[in-house]
Amino acid sequence: MSSAQSGSVATRPYVDPTPLPDNIPKVQELGVSSAPLKSAAFFIGAYCKEYNEDFMLCKSENRDPSHCLKEGRRVTRCATDLINKMRENCLSQFQEHWDCLEKNNQEYYLCRKPERTLNACMFEKLGLTKTIPSAPAGKTPVHELEKPLFKAIQK
């Protein structure tokens, strides 16, 4: 690294500072940590379905990182768009849910109460619903159970 460092042994690994080549369009990375991502995962899956599937199909053609840069930018832009919309419309519910996830080992089943308010808000404002693919048909999905067997012991 070009910056001055004290001591003979670097305390952090060397990170290549070279930016992307100029012929690649720049995209702002999402920069969202794990709990908000987990909170928004099903909405990202619903909102960005086409882009995600396009990207994964492209990856199955060729695993080379340079092969799917364009599709990858679309995926990131779509996710950024969704997170911005969530922050505009359902900020308090979103924040409450991912805060709960962060405090509960990122387990969905311990955070059903804030999750339900978030889901209701997302459906009302953005028309997005949380659906779990390939769940058994004709049964209440696990995130809508009134009396689940697995729940927090302390209320």
Please report whether residue 10 would count as binding another protein according to CB under 8 A.
no
- Block residue for tokens 């987990």: 38
Among 2, 60, 134, 154, indicate the residue that binds another protein (CB under 8 A): 134
Among 2, 3, 8, 66, indicate the residue that binds another protein (CB under 8 A): 66
Size of the site for another protein (CB under 8 A): 52
Q: Which residues from 19-48 bind another protein, rule CB under 8 A?
A: 19-21, 24, 27, 29-30, 37-38, 41-42, 44-45, 48
Which of 116, 114, 147 has its CA nearest to residue 129? Answer: 116
Residues 6+ apart with CB under 8 A from 45: 52
Which of 78, 149, 77, 90 has its CA nearest to residue 118? Answer: 90
Which lies closer to another protein via its Cβ, residue 4 or residue 22? 22
